[in-house]
Homo-oligomer: A and B are copies of this chain.
């Protein structure tokens, strides 16, 4: 069997990373990020193109310096549930914080989405990056890395346990015998751990996927280990081909070391393809997009996000980049380290750091359709990803990729020509986890 490429769509609404001026695009409604019809349309377009999933990011802290798409957006689960009944095959991956939600609530909400969508739910587990988030949830100080990641691991374990509360045949609903539930097939978890105590059982039966698919974005050491232990999908950092190869190999190795099949963790890189009629036209457009996002004041604000919403406008922009490493300890440590390393290596001023803030976001997938398909094929063959999490500036850009590039990927046998399944697990080639209690029973019976 040829290894198949997976494609997801990350709808940008009125803006996205490196595209913070997108709200000015006349083809995008100014309220796109809070308009459910925008998301339904994006999901249907992605489903028409046979993409694996719609991927909804999230955050829970803003101030007035935050970019457009952060300021005003729908809560991901409410959004995806509305999208579910207007689609049939596409996966629905929503971001939710394990730091600021109870496992019992998350288990119910993602389990419900999996029932509502007929088996298409995915949970992108985040630990919350913005240090200010803590003050929206009653905590004086953001939890440190070790606590957040320990909590994330335990949350996933608890939630998977709750999803197993009922065995698949728990409800005979036998009218003659007057038996709705077989009580032997309902199981309390009785979890007592370092971060959580949760008795269970969950008041919801196993969903079509058994467990919704777990996504994660592991960049730090803690994040990579969490991914290796529990993730089935990864939103990878990207970078150069060599960076992506190294990350891919590292995650697959850690996953194997954790005793799991490395093929059961699908690594997606971010891809914002720029497709043009010619390579040069596409490259020119990519340069324009990059330049367009060089709003100095806004990028000063964005820079602060990795350092606990620190106000960089207080510094002389033409002095050397200030010593702020300590501010990132609890927040965007990995992103901050990258910024500091770049500033130190280049001896950059604050202004130079801000002006080159988005340079690392340059997509490798720029060119005429054939060039983009070639690059994707080359990167895919080089072991850099299992899938791409695609983002487009607008529907015209989405159409250029879907109509121009996807057919080439299909011709080469890299991408599906029809859905393999109507569940996200089925399309990603992930197994349905056995119910832990049913498995025990099999052992007992054997």
Contact = CB atoms under 8 A, between A and B. Distances in A.
Interface string A40-69: 100000000000000000011111100010
A105 interface: yes
Q: State the majority secondary structure of interface residues on A.
A: loop
Interface stretch (A179-187, A229-237, A398-406): A179-187
A77 B74 contact: no
B181 A68 contact: yes
A55 to B, nearest CB: 18
B199 A135 contact: yes
B36 A116 contact: yes
B75 A199 contact: no
B109 A64 contact: no
Interface in A78-122: 78-79, 81-82, 84-86, 100-102, 104-105, 108-109, 111-113, 115-116
A436 interface: no
- Copies per complex? 2
A435 interface: no
A137 B104 CA distance: 7
Interface in A108-164: 108-109, 111-113, 115-116, 132, 135-138, 140
A214 to B, nearest CB: 18
A183 B61 CA distance: 15
A64 B171 contact: no
Contact of A104 (B30, B102, B109, B136): B136
Interface string A199-239: 11101110000000000000000000000000000000000
Given A72-B205, A136-B200, A203-B61, A77 B109 contact: yes
A295 B180 CA distance: 13
Contact of A204 (B34, B100, B101, B111): B34
A283 B283 CA distance: 79
Contact of A171 (B36, B70, B72, B175): B72
Nearest to A135: B199
A267 interface: no
A302 to B, nearest CB: 14
A175 B98 CA distance: 37
A315 interface: no
A173 interface: yes
A112 B78 contact: yes
A173 B175 CA distance: 60
A246 interface: no
B77 A34 contact: no
B74 A116 contact: yes
Contacts of A100: 102, 104-105
Contact of A109 (B40, B75, B102, B295): B75
Contacts of A62: 201, 203
A203 B78 contact: no
Interface string A298-313: 0000000000000000
Contacts of A102: 100-101, 137-138
A30 B173 contact: yes
Nearest to A186: B64
Contacts of A260: none
A169 to B, nearest CB: 13
Contacts of A40: 85
A23 interface: yes
Nearest to A102: B137
Interface in A186-206: 186, 188, 196-201, 203-205
A285 interface: no
A386 B278 CA distance: 68
- Select the residue from A113, A136, A166, A188 with max chain B CB neighbours within 10 A: A136
A324 interface: no
Given A59-B203, A64-B183, A68-B181, 10 more contacts: A35-B115, A36-B116, A62-B203, A63-B186, A64-B186, A71-B203, A72-B171, A75-B109, A79-B112, A136-B200
18 contacts: A23-B173, A24-B175, A59-B203, A62-B203, A70-B203, A71-B180, A71-B203, A73-B204, A78-B109, A78-B116, A79-B81, A82-B82, A82-B85, A85-B86, A100-B104, A132-B199, A135-B197, A138-B198
